[in-house]
Chain A
Amino acid sequence: MIEQTQALRIFESMLLIRRFEETVIDLWATVETEGHRHVYIGQEAVGATIMELLREDDLILTTHRNHGHVIARGADPGRALAEILGRADGFNKGRGGSAGLTVREAGFLATTGQVGGGIGLGIGAAQAQKVKGRGGICVTFFGDGGLEEGIGFEAMNIAALYELPVLLVCENNSVGVTTGRAQNEWSSSSMAAETLGDVPRALGIATEVVPGESVTAVYDAASRLIGDLREGRSPAFIEMRTRRWPGSRSFNPQLVTGVTDLAGIWEPGSVTGEHSDWINRYDPVIGYGRELMRQGLIDRDEIRAMDERISGRVQAAREFALSSPLPSAESGLTGTFA
Chain B
Amino acid sequence: MTRMTYAAAMVDAVVARMHDDPTMTLIGSAYLLGPAAEHPALNTVRERYADRVIDEPPISESAVAGLAIGSAMSGCRALAHFGLAAFAVEAWSQFIHEAGVAHHQSGGQITVPAVFVMMHGVMPIEFSQHSRSPYAMLANCPGIQIVLASTPADIKGLMTTALKSDNPTVVMNHPLLMAMEGEVPDGDFAIPFGEADVKRAGRDVTLVATSHKVEVALQAAEALAAEGVSAEVVDPRTIVPLDRDAILASVRKTGRVVVVDESPRTCGFGAEIGAMVAESAFGNLKAPVIRLSPPDIPIPRGTLAQTPFRTTPEKVVGAVRSIL
Contacts and interface: CB of A to CB of B under 8 A. Distances in A.
B60 A131 contact: no
Given A114-B93, A123-B66, A131-B51, A154 B58 contact: yes
Given A336-B142, A338-B111, A127 B97 contact: no
Interface residues of A, number: 46
Q: Which of B71, B74, B110 has the most CB of A within 10 A?
A: B74
A112 B104 contact: no
B97 A158 contact: no
Interface in A121-160: 121-132, 138, 150-151, 154-155, 157-158
12 contacts: A91-B107, A92-B105, A92-B109, A100-B106, A114-B98, A117-B93, A120-B66, A122-B70, A127-B71, A138-B70, A151-B63, A155-B63
A311 B157 CA distance: 57
B103 A161 contact: no
B53 to A, nearest CB: 11
B238 interface: no
B58 A336 contact: no
A93 interface: yes
Contact of A120 (B25, B63, B166): B63
A338 B63 contact: no
Contacts of B67: 120, 123-124, 127, 155, 158
A338 B103 contact: yes
B81 to A, nearest CB: 15
Given A96-B106, A124-B74, A127-B67, 4 more contacts: A117-B93, A120-B65, A120-B94, A123-B67
A61 B66 CA distance: 12
B98 A110 contact: yes
A333 B306 CA distance: 44
Contact of A121 (B57, B69, B103): B69
A332 to B, nearest CB: 8
Contact of B74 (A59, A91, A105, A112): A59
Interface string B62-95: 1111111111111110100000000000000110
A248 interface: no
Contacts of A155: 60, 62-63, 66-67
A188 to B, nearest CB: 24
Contacts of B54: 127, 162
A334 to B, nearest CB: 9
B104 A109 contact: no
